[in-house]
Structure 1
Amino acid sequence: MELNEAISKRVSVRYFDERDVPGEAIRSMIEAAVRAPTASGLENWIFVVFTSEDSREKIYRLITRGMEEYYRAVNIPEEKMKKLQERMYKEGMYKAPVYIAVFIDKRVRFLEGSEFDDLEFIWSVESAAMAIQNLMLKAVELGLGTVYIGVTNFRGIEEEVRKLAGLDENYYLVGVIPVGYPRREQKPHGRRRILGEITRFI
């Protein structure tokens, strides 16, 4: 598969088959992830793969909790909230055979001194984000679907994900990625803003 095809085919998949994802495919995705650029060559990321039934159920519950918190924060009507809950709890939205949580180790840094704390943190998150994109594109090549989950970063939820991963407060969760075979075919959506609106040549 050409890179342009993988980029074009990548979509956010929210419904997955129950089929297991081969361990080799998971390793291939993480191998692709760590080929991403990393600030100062630190490679201060860690990928925690949840595959056991118990851990997946716990991660799923944390995702659904985060989604509810997110939609309440934007004040959606209670009727829409009920529809969201139905999609999650009855239809299994975001329920996947594999979850990959991507963390950074905040202790690993290049510049010393508190004046660089924010900059080092931003660089580390950017590095992990680029790794996640590589992982997602590799998943497309393997016929797998993924979606980026950020709502697990709400206070109280992020700590629970870290505990499940066996990590302490020195680690920061960049995102959780559900992985699996798409339950239904999804076509890529166009972007709302055209290239001319978002590009500036100087």
Structure 2
Amino acid sequence: MDNICLKRYSCRCFRKERVSEEALIRIFQAAMQAPSALNEQPWEFLLIREACMKQEVAGINPYCHPAAEADCLILLLADLNRLKKDSPWWVQDMSACAENMLLQAVELGLGAVWLGVYPREERMKKLSRLVCLPENVIPFAVISVGYPDEERDPVLRFDGDRIYGEQYGTRLLLQKDSGETEW
């Protein structure tokens, strides 16, 4: 898992190569293994492969341009009818689901990027209209998936200064097994 987390990055440039159905099934399996509060599992998915539809999704906001270049798009949808009354945890559930998908894509040698939709009302309305969602289904995110156009070295982001012990502001000095405190 450590290697997968380090290799993951937001891939925005893709080769023109088809992602297999087997790979997509593995991504969906990983997505549905995500933890969810009260085991509500609010997720549903919509796969888009047609070029004209990918172009429409790419036009939803200025940051969605990777949607047009990826082999496929996976729309993460939250079905509010699956929730118990006043359950506020579906956003965390969907976020865990999305991260599982991104990590599984890396494991398969694919690139992926999470394109935000929720909670931007304008994006949600446009996407809902485009794919004919019922009112109880909320478009949460778009994951663009494909084969990366380039290889990247991992960017190490660990920062021990952001880790505290017992109280905020009390720096926790973590040590490697070797006894060193510098990471």
- Structure 1 stretch displaced more, 146-155 or 30-39: 146-155
Q: 1:67 aligns with which of 63, 66, 87?
A: 63
Gaps of 5+ in 2: 168-183
Q: 2:148 aligns with which of 177, 182, 190?
A: 182
Partner AA of 1:16 in structure 2 = F
Relative to its length, the structure with more helix (as a share) is: 1
Distance in 1 (alpha carbons) for counterparts of 2:47 and 2:160: 36
Q: Residue 92 of structure 2 corresponds to which residue in structure 1?
A: 126
In the alignment of these two chains, the number of paired residues is: 167
- Structure 1 residue 14 corresponds to structure 2 residue 12: yes
Distance in 1 (alpha carbons) for counterparts of 2:28 and 2:95: 13
Q: CA deviation at 1:67?
A: 2.8
Q: Residue 161 of structure 2 corresponds to which residue in structure 1?
A: 196
Superposed CA offset, 1:17-66 (max 9, x none) = 1111111111110101101111111111111111122211211222xx34
- Structure 1 residue 149 corresponds to structure 2 residue 115: yes
Q: 1:103 aligns with which of 77, 83, 95?
A: 77
Q: Residue 83 of structure 1 corresponds to which residue in structure 2?
A: none
Q: CA deviation at 1:151?
A: 5.1
- After the TM superposition, which residues 51-66 of structure 1 pair with which residues of structure 2 at under 5 Å, given as runs? 51-62=49-60, 65-66=61-62
- Among all aligned residue pairs of Structure 1 and Structure 2, give the percentage whose two residues are the same amino acid: 28
Higher relative contact order (CA 8 A, sep 6+): 1
TM-score normalised over the length of structure 1:
0.74
Q: Secondary structure at the match of 2:22?
A: helix
Distance in 2 (alpha carbons) for counterparts of 1:34 and 1:5: 22
In 2 relative to 1, CA 101–198 (structure 1 residues): closer, same or farther, beyond 3 Å?
farther
- C-alpha root-mean-square deviation of aligned residues, in Å? 2.2
Superposed CA offset, 1:102-137 (max 9, x none) = 111122222x3xxxx3xx23x111111111111111
Gaps of 5+ in 1: 69-87
Q: 2:48 aligns with which of 50, 64, 68?
A: 50
Superposed CA offset, 1:79-98 (max 9, x none) = xxxxxxxxx5xxx6862111
Q: Secondary structure at the match of 2:78?
A: strand
